[in-house]
């Protein structure tokens, strides 16, 4: 049983992917990280030796993990609490999460980060389905601080080169459609995020993005909501913000509510 200073892998797994998770900080030493260079979804790497420097920048609650949830994790969390930050340690550390079958994102697949530790992505303007779903996936499971640039289609490649941004959902790039799969499918596969809820959501996104409503009953609903948002907002970033809430709702349905039905009106009505 974890202490009040610890959080279990199961509990953290229920928080990952939701709109307001704690900051997950991986402080494994270089040797342990090199042995398995993957991160818990949304986690960032930090050097435990310099916690007194970067700890001041931690804005909200944090979960700290080391290899086994022992001295490094507890030492960093204690430093953060001294600085007035709420901090817990992942019980059993990275090994416990991995052994429990938790998703792990390979760092080799992640784009480089800018001077503020953010990944930068660029795609075509006027996003609707894939170009909203992919940013949602990235911010919820890969890099919560990621920034997205929406530019004219003809300028995506040039902007990517000039601003060290990673292009997605355009032709002839790594992060794009492959066969019958849309970019959202590809990201889930490449980032090692193939959980049952995300795969269910991917089917709905694929159906809406590639005009295949037969893939899932929910496809027309996502398509309708996506097209409606596109007509509500002229600003791509306002549309992205609204779309984040839309995909939060679809994800939680995929994860927690697929068996739930609406029981009104009552079967007694009309008797």
Pairwise CA distance, residues 195 & 45, whole Å: 23
Pairwise CA distance, residues 147 & 139, whole Å: 9
pLDDT digits (tens, 9 = 90+) for 235-265: 999 999 999 999 999 999 999 999 988 877 7
pLDDT digits (tens, 9 = 90+) for 139-181: 999 999 999 999 999 999 999 999 999 999 999 999 999 999 9
pTM score of the predicted model: 0.94
Mean pLDDT of 85-93: 97
* Both structure tokens of 33: 């990280």
Would the CA dihedral through 195, 198, 202, 203 be positive or negative? positive
What pLDDT score was predicted for residue 263?
78
What pLDDT score was predicted for residue 268?
58
According to CATH, the topology of domain 6-107 is Oxidized Rhodanese; domain 1 (3.40.250)
Pairwise CA distance, residues 25 & 23, whole Å: 6
Could you state, in order of their start, the residue ranges of all structural domains in the chain?
6-107, 110-257
Residue 134 CA, chain-centre distance (Å), reads 9
What pLDDT score was predicted for residue 262?
80
pLDDT digits (tens, 9 = 90+) for 48-73: 999 999 999 999 899 999 999 999 99
Which residues, at least 6 apart from 193, have a Cβ–Cβ distance to it below 8 Å?
Answer: 41, 103, 105, 137, 141, 187
Tell me the Cα Rg of the chain: 20
């Amino acid at each position: 049983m974890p202490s009040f200073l610890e959080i279990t892998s199961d509990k953290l797994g229920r928080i990952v992917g939701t709109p307001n998770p704690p900051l997950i900080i991986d402080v494994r030493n270089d040797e342990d990280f090199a042995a398995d260079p993957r991160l818990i979804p949304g986690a960032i790497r930090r050097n435990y030796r310099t916690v007194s420097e970067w700890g001041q920048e931690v804005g909200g609650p944090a979960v700290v993990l080391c290899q086994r949830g022992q001295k490094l994790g507890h030492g960093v969390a204690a430093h953060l609490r001294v600085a007035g930050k709420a901090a817990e340690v992942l019980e059993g550390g990275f090994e416990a999460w991995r052994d429990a079958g938790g998703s792990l994102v390979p760092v080799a697949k992640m784009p480089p980060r800018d001077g503020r530790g953010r990944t930068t992505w660029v795609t075509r303007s006027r996003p609707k389905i894939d170009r909203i779903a992919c940013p949602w996936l990235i911010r919820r499971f890969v890099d919560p601080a990621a920034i997205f640039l929406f530019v004219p289609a003809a300028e995506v490649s040039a902007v990517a080169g000039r601003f060290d941004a990673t292009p997605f959902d355009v032709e002839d790039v790594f992060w794009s459609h492959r066969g019958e799969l849309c970019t959202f499918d590809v990201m889930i596969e490449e980032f090692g995020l193939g959980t049952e809820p995300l795969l269910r959501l991917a089917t709905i996104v694929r159906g809406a993005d590639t005009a295949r409503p037969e893939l899932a009953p929910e496809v027309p609903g996502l398509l309708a909501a996506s097209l409606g948002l596109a007509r509500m907002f002229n600003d791509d970033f306002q549309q992205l913000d609204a779309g984040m809430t839309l995909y939060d709702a679809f994800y939680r349905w995929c994860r927690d509510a697929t068996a739930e039905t609406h029981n009104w009106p009552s079967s007694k009505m009309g008797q």
